[in-house]
């Protein structure tokens, strides 16, 4: 390759790292060699355009059939697209040449696991951990793979061995993780290990009064200090916490809690916020650690935004978003920001503008959420045909624009816009989990008002055949459908506690009990016992029983 081309490609790679994808592509297109085409393929992939990316990687392989990197990327695309045979073929092509890449064996294991081939999954992970026998994370994977294959004893042995390692013993996070996995594999009902993930709706006070939300109108409530202290004490053991209010930045203790979290290197913190109370002080803390911001902004214009987010000021919001950009620049911190508009009657015509807004303020992703409740703003229940017709046209255009800007685009509205496959990053999964959780909250609120056993029974009946089948499979594998009650805890914004968003049985209230008590409360033990005995039909939700959300629950956060 000519020196000049090499320099240009290096420059383009740097731009790709800075997420300046269009600029990078402009440099790469005229070069047209194996390396430039490879980089353009990467750009397309980052923009979520797997089809274009696939074509380009194939083009690289035509120029150089030995491009193992292209084989690997193709395998990954096919795995994402669930074109399993092709994925296997390309992983195998790669592994024929590169035999010592443990991570790729791990990817293959995940592929096999996703199609329920636990035997092959275990084989791949066994190879991976034989390549990296001292790799702690790989040992975790091996233990989990054994358990997924119904080999609880082998799994427990792996975790026991991990617990004997000095470096694990001396690390409270790893020690808790290994102990927790051991306790799952041995199906313990009372745990010594501590929760590994939390959704913490720690207060309901708010600085504004959005038209789409009723939290601000409820009697003011905040978790008692003793619970806040318990949460802080748990942070070093956790991998994942999602903070929510009300508006958490409106709470005087929040900055110091956040700062404690930032000290924990294994912890990912996600904050749902309206963004209006961001300032130099809290952004300085955020910039120091692994913190992501989900910003709830329901309009791209002053009029719409201020109408929905009643009490908010558009100029103030824009200043805060500028401040995030500045802090990113001055500190070099990544600070992922996720634009999270709730789509409703007042704002659906601004979807395209929202993408421009996301671009202007350098958002990492945009997620279109359907509004729940609020009849005067609700275009989903009942369906407003006019709005749907408009959105069917506009959403694909917005998605395309978003991809061009390198902003991931998620459409969670119940509307078919022929948008491509959506692949969620973990943080976005968390958003979606919380989204689900909010849905549940709503139904739970209703459940508090009305006895729902009959409705639940009807729903369960509708799913019962499918679920019976799943149940049989689970029992045959001797595998539990979910580990959430061993790993997670959710604090609702009225003090009630559940294992996870999708769980409907309360464990008790923080007004009466400590988190420690709730973690091993009789209700939590019941959850664990029933799951351990595959006796979950009257306890768990159809989505859990059918396995739709299994992976998310098992692995709240990908190992970093
Ligand atoms: C209740 S707020 C609390 C966190 C923070 N104050 C905020 O606005 O992000 C959590 C999320 O719920 C969303 N939300 C509020 N009311 C909603 C509704 N009626 N339908 C759908 N989402 C709603 C908000 O936009 C926000 O993303
Ligand atoms: S800012 Fe968040 S909590 Fe406050 S009223 Fe709006 S949606 Fe509700």
Residue-wise DSSP of 409-458? EEE-SS-----------HHHHHHHHHHHHHHHHHHHHHHHHS--HHHHHH
Q: Is 244 in the pocket of ligand 2 (CB under 6 A)?
A: no
Q: Is 56 in the pocket of ligand 2 (CB under 6 A)?
A: no
Expressed in angstroms and rounded, the spacing between residue 211 Cα and the centre of ligand 2 is 9
415, 391 Cβ separation under 8 angstroms? yes
pLDDT in tens, 276-298: 999 999 999 999 989 999 999 99
b/e map 420-458, b = 16+ CB within 10 Å: beeebbbbbbbbbbbbbbbebbeebeebeeeebeeeeee
Q: Is 102 in the pocket of ligand 1 (CB under 6 A)?
A: no
Predicted pLDDT at 50:
86
Q: Is 245 in the pocket of ligand 2 (CB under 6 A)?
A: yes
| All residues at 6 or more sequence positions from 268 whose CB lies less than 8 Å from its CB, including other chains | 239, 240, 241, 290, 292, 426, 427, 557
pLDDT at 388 over 70: yes
Q: Is 215 in the pocket of ligand 2 (CB under 6 A)?
A: yes
Band (pLDDT 50/70/90 cuts) for residue 552 is low
Predicted pLDDT at 21:
87
pLDDT in tens, 393-449: 999 999 999 988 889 899 999 887 654 433 333 333 343 443 444 344 334 343 333
pTM for this model (two decimals): 0.82
Band (pLDDT 50/70/90 cuts) for residue 392 is very high
Predicted pLDDT at 545:
75
| All residues at 6 or more sequence positions from 367 whose CB lies less than 8 Å from its CB, including other chains | 338, 339, 340, 341, 410, 411, 412, 428, 431, 432
Expressed in angstroms and rounded, the spacing between residue 297 Cα and the centre of ligand 1 is 9
Label the pairing between strands 496-498 and 508-509: antiparallel
Q: Is 210 in the pocket of ligand 2 (CB under 6 A)?
A: yes
Percent of the chain exceeding pLDDT 70 equals: 87
pLDDT in tens, 470-515: 545 555 567 888 899 999 999 999 999 999 988 888 899 999 999 9
Label the pairing between strands 291-295 and 337-339: parallel
Mean pLDDT of all residues in 357-380: 95
Percent of the chain exceeding pLDDT 90 equals: 74
Pick the residue with more confidence: 311 or 2?
A: 311
Predicted pLDDT at 118:
87
Phi, psi for 398 (deg, rounded to 5): -65, -40
Predicted pLDDT at 123:
95
Expressed in angstroms and rounded, the spacing between residue 245 Cα and the centre of ligand 2 is 8
For residue 249, which of 293, 309, 196 has the smallest C-alpha distance?
293
Expressed in angstroms and rounded, the spacing between residue 17 Cα and the centre of ligand 1 is 32
pLDDT at 389 over 50: yes
SS (H, E, C) 456-484: HHHHHHHHHHHHHHHHHHHHHHCCCCCCH
Mean pLDDT of all residues in 344-363: 97
Query: How wide is the angle at C-alpha 532 spanned by C-alphas 484 and 105, nearest 5°?
Result: 65
Q: Which of the listed residues 296, 371, 373, 435 should we mutate to test ligand 2's pocket, taking the one with most ligand atoms within 8 A of CB?
A: 296
Predicted pLDDT at 473:
54
Q: Which secondary-structure segment (H or E) carries 498?
A: strand 496-498
SS3 percent helix, strand, coil of the chain, rounded to 5, is: 55, 10, 35
Q: Which residue owns the Cα nearest ligand 2 atom 8?
A: 213
């Amino acid at each position: 390759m000519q020196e000049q081309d090499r320099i240009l490609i290096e420059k383009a790679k740097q731009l790709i790292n800075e997420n300046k994808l269009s600029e990078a592509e402009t440099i790469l297109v005229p070069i047209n060699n194996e390396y430039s085409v490879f980089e353009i393929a990467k750009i397309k992939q980052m923009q979520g355009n797997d089809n274009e990316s696939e074509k380009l990687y194939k083009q690289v392989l035509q120029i150089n059939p030995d491009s193992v990197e292209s084989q690997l990327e193709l395998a990954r695309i096919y795995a994402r697209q669930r074109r399993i045979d092709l994925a296997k073929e390309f992983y195998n092509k790669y592994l024929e040449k590169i035999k010592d890449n443990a991570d790729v064996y791990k990817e293959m294991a995940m592929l096999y696991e996703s199609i329920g081939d636990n035997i092959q999954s275990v084989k791949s992970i066994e190879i991976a951990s034989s390549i990296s026998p001292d790799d702690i994370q790989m040992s975790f994977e091996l233990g989990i793979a054994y358990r997924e294959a119904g080999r609880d004893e082998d799994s427990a042995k792996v975790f026991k061995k991990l617990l004997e390692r000095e470096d694990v013993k001396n690390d409270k996070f790893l020690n808790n993780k290994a102990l927790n996995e051991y306790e799952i594999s041995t199906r313990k009902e009372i745990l010594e290990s501590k929760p590994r993930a939390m959704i913490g709706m720690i207060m309901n006070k708010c600085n504004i009064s959005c038209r789409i939300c009723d939290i601000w109108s409820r009697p003011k409530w905040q978790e008692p200090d003793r619970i806040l202290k318990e949460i802080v004490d748990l942070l070093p053991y956790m991998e994942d916490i999602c903070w929510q209010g009300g508006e958490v930045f409106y709470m005087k203790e929040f900055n110091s809690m956040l700062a404690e979290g930032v000290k924990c290197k294994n912890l990912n913190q996600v904050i749902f916020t309206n963004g209006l109370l961001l300032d130099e002080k809290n952004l300085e803390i955020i910039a120091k650690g692994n913190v992501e911001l989900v910003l709830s902004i329901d309009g791209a214009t002053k009029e719409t935004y201020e109408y929905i987010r009643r009490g908010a000021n558009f100029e103030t919001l824009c200043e805060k978003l500028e401040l995030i950009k500045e802090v990113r620049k001055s500190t070099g911190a990544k600070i992922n920001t996720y634009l999270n508009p709730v789509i409703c009657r007042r704002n659906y015509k601004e979807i395209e503008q929202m993408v421009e807004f996301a671009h202007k303020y350098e958002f990492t992703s945009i997620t279109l959420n359907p509004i729940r409740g609020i009849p005067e703003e609700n275009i989903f229940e009942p369906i407003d045909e006019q709005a749907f017709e408009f959105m069917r046209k506009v959403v694909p255009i917005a998605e395309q624009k978003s991809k061009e800007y390198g902003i991931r685009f998620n459409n969670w509205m119940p509307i078919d816009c022929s948008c491509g496959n959506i692949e969620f990053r973990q943080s976005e999964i968390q958003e979606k989990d919380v989204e689900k959780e909010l849905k549940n909250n709503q139904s739970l609120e209703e459940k508090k008002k009305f006895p729902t056993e009959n409705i639940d029974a009807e729903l369960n009946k509708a799913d019962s055949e499918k679920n019976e089948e799943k149940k049989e499979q689970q029992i045959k594998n001797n595998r539990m459908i979910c580990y959430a009650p061993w790993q997670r805890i959710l604090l609702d914004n009225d003090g009630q506690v559940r294992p996870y968003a999708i769980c409907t049985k309360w464990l008790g209230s923080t007004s009466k009990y400590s988190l420690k008590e709730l973690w091993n409360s009789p209700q939590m033990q019941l959850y664990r016992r029933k799951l351990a005995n595959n006796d979950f039909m009257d306890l768990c939700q159809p989505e859990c029983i059918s396995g739709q959300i299994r992976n998310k629950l098992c692995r709240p956060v990908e190992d970093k």
